[in-house]
């Protein structure tokens, strides 16, 4: 899986010229969407199958600051998945490999009416694909 690349934009920085902390959460979402696209399961396909995967928790640990025009590479993997809940992990680094942030997001699964479902029952093909990208324990 190729890392997602994000170029820090000027509007993402604060008065001190440092990337505002809220943007890292957005980048995690961008990287997750990219991850699912690469895995062959873009959001449109998930919705066509009749389900969605909302965020139920997010964590972010800031390690080093980033600034305007930094290229940030975001590695994404499935940390855990049991058919009911899925956790993605993210590692963000600069081009030289310096890790700037790590995080994770937890997701449940709902049908298009918003009712909880088991993804492993609703779409086993999706689950099989996600298990291929599950981080080794």
Supply the pLDDT for residue 135: 84
Asked if the structure places residue 101 within a domain, the reply is yes
CA dihedral defined by 34, 52, 130, 76, rounded to 10 degrees?
30
For the residues 26-48, what does the mean pLDDT come to?
96
Among 14, 82, 96, 120, the active-site one is 14
pLDDT digits (tens, 9 = 90+) for 50-97: 999 999 999 999 999 999 999 999 999 999 999 999 999 999 999 999
Contact at 8 Å (CB) between 31 and 7?
A: no
Domain region containing 72: 4-132
CATH of the domain at 103: 3.10.129.10
In a domain, 37, yes or no: yes
Q: Total structural domains in the chain?
A: 1
The CA distances from residue 29 to 17, 35, 45, 104, in Å, are 23, 10, 17, 10
How confident is residue 136, by pLDDT bands cut at 50, 70 and 90? confident
In a domain, 137, yes or no: no
Instruction: Look at 27-31, 86-90, 133-137 and tell me which has the smallest mean pLDDT.
Output: 133-137
CB 68 within 8 A of CB 10: yes
Instruction: Identify whether 14 is a catalytic site residue.
Output: yes
Quick check: is 88 in a domain? yes
The model's pTM is 0.94
Within 8 A by CB and 6+ apart from 131, the residues are 78, 81
Mean pLDDT value across the chain: 96
CA distance linking residue 92 with residue 101, whole number of Å: 5
119 domain-assigned: yes
Band (137; pLDDT cuts 50, 70, 90): low
């Amino acid at each position: 899986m190729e890392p997602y690349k994000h170029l820090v934009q000027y509007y993402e920085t604060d008065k001190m010229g440092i990337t505002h902390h809220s943007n890292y959460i957005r980048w995690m979402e961008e990287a997750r969407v990219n991850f699912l696209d690469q895995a062959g399961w873009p959001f449109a396909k998930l919705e066509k199958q009749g389900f969605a995967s909302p965020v139920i928790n997010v964590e972010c640990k800031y390690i080093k600051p980033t600034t305007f025009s930094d290229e940030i590479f975001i590695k994404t993997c499935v940390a855990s998945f049991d058919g009911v809940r899925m956790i993605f992990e993210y590692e963000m680094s600069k081009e030289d490999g310096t890790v700037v942030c790590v995080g994770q997001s937890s997701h449940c699964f709902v049908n298009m009416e918003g009712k909880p479902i088991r993804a492993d029952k609703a779409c086993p093909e999706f689950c099989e694909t996600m298990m291929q990208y599950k981080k080794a324990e």
